[in-house]
Amino acid sequence: MSPATSFVVHSTLGNAKAYHRVSGCWSSAWVSGTPRARHSARWPRPRGRIGHRLSVPLRLQSNEARSPLVDLRGKQALVTGIANQRSIAFGVAQALKQAGAEIGVAYLPINERAESKIAKLVEPLSPTLMVPCDVQSRANMEALFDTMRQKWGGLDILVHCLAFADRGDLEGDFSKTSRDGFHLALGVSTYSLIEMCGLAKPLFRKNGSVVTLTYLGAERVVPNYNVMGVAKAGLECSVRYLASELGPQLGVRVNGVSAGPIRTLASSAIGGITTMIRNVEMNAPLRRTVTQEEVGKTAAFLLSEAASGITGQVLYVDSGYAIMGSPVFGDGAPGGGAGG
Ligand SMILES: NC(=O)c1ccc[n+]([C@@H]2O[C@H](COP(=O)([O-])OP(=O)(O)OC[C@H]3O[C@@H](n4cnc5c(N)ncnc54)[C@H](O)[C@@H]3O)[C@@H](O)[C@H]2O)c1
């Protein structure tokens, strides 16, 4: 075992504690379980009796060893989709900045007032790029990546955090989705990822990484999500195809984060977002929905070397809601209560 590796002691009660063996001095850790706790023959038997405090070696760590798990120092990250302080993209940008990345921002140019609001919002992130880009315009997209090539000379991280559909297509009968509405939703929300990755290809540096934002409505029926569910299904499929293309060619990883419902500008267009959030608060294992900060932290992880073996995946950040096969039985509900 190398001096820095960890070992885990499993007990017959299912408890497990991880030990960090970093040679030098000794630290202690608590191992719970029964005297019959198993440990792998590969690892040395821990000293002392199980159930007592045990000592394991600990060497004072070097500065390098102490660096955070999610370390994005020296990386240049383009974040798309910041509209205001509630935007999930803003949570991601903050997490990336905290991890040491240099931030570039691409925003939808609506009007001067909105632009100066975004500029003020992102000021603390000290962005070294601020580029207007409507993803419906090929010229805008080319100009964005051209600016990046000129100013940064390359790209390490791409965050795709945008979506749009006509409000009228986010309620009522799905079969009434308009032809134009379908093209609009999939063009902005799905095709933009494919196009961005294509334009970013010549710019990606070694170990580059992409994250996009998706939602459970891609896989299951969520009332009113309608055409956006189709767009997100296409987005998640695109994640897999892009991962398969960019991995062997460039070593670039592509992943999705499936976030639980959060109140934002985009989500407020979905009929019943308040009910969706309440439903998660009542039924998700954590009994709450998630925050932009939690989504941001997971995106930063996926974009970092800590996730170097993960690509083509969709990771849920939803308080566990997606694992539930049924609403929780409340007190008094059939089959609910103790022993129900
Ligand atoms: N809020 C949620 O509950 C939730 C849950 C899961 C996934 N998501 C996804 O997260 C992403 C970000 O959404 P959000 O909830 O933070 O809302 P938001 O409104 O803050 O962000 C949406 C962004 O898309 C941008 N956008 C729309 N049309 C564009 C265009 N033509 N060109 C460029 N940009 C355009 C908007 O300017 C905005 O910045 C979306 O993909 C959304 O589907 C949101």
CA 4 to ligand 1 center in whole angstroms: 42
Look up the CATH superfamily of 76-322.
NAD(P)-binding Rossmann-like Domain (3.40.50.720)
CATH code 3.40.50.720 region(s) in the chain: 76-322
3-class state of residue 28 by DSSP: strand
Rounded to an integer, what is the distance from CA 150 to the centroid of its chain?
28
The residue to mutate among 264, 291, 321, having the most atoms of ligand 1 within 8 angstroms of its beta carbon, is 264
Tell me the pLDDT of the chain (340 aa) as tens digits. Answer: 333 333 232 332 333 333 333 332 223 222 223 333 333 333 333 333 333 333 334 344 454 556 678 999 999 999 999 999 999 999 999 999 999 999 999 999 999 999 999 999 999 999 999 999 999 999 999 999 999 999 999 999 999 999 999 999 999 999 999 999 999 999 999 999 999 999 999 999 999 999 999 999 999 999 999 999 999 999 999 999 999 999 998 999 999 999 999 999 999 999 889 999 999 999 999 999 999 999 999 999 999 999 999 999 999 999 999 999 999 987 534 444 333 3
Counting from 1 in the atom list of ligand 1, the atom nearest the Cα of 277 is: 3
Instruction: Assess contact for 232 and 160: CB atoms under 8 A.
Output: no
Half-sphere exposure of residue 56, counting CA atoms within 13 Å on the CB side? 22
The residue to mutate among 80, 88, 226, 289, having the most atoms of ligand 1 within 8 angstroms of its beta carbon, is 88
Report the C-alpha gap between 15 and 37 in whole angstroms.
Answer: 9
| Angle (CA) 18 22 25, round 5° | 110
Task: Residue 79: name the closest of 94, 68, 67, 61 by CA.
Answer: 94
Nearest-CA residue for ligand 1 atom 4 is: 261
The question of whether 225 is a catalytic residue gets the answer yes
Which phi-psi region, left, alpha or beta, contains residue 226 (left: φ > 0; alpha: ψ -120 to 50)? left
Half-sphere exposure of residue 134, counting CA atoms within 13 Å on the CB side? 8
Total length of the chain: 340
Buried b or exposed e, range 283-296, using 16+ CB within 10 angstroms = ebeeeebbebebbb
Counting from 1 in the atom list of ligand 1, the atom nearest the Cα of 188 is: 31
Question: Which pLDDT does position 68 carry in this prediction?
Answer: 78
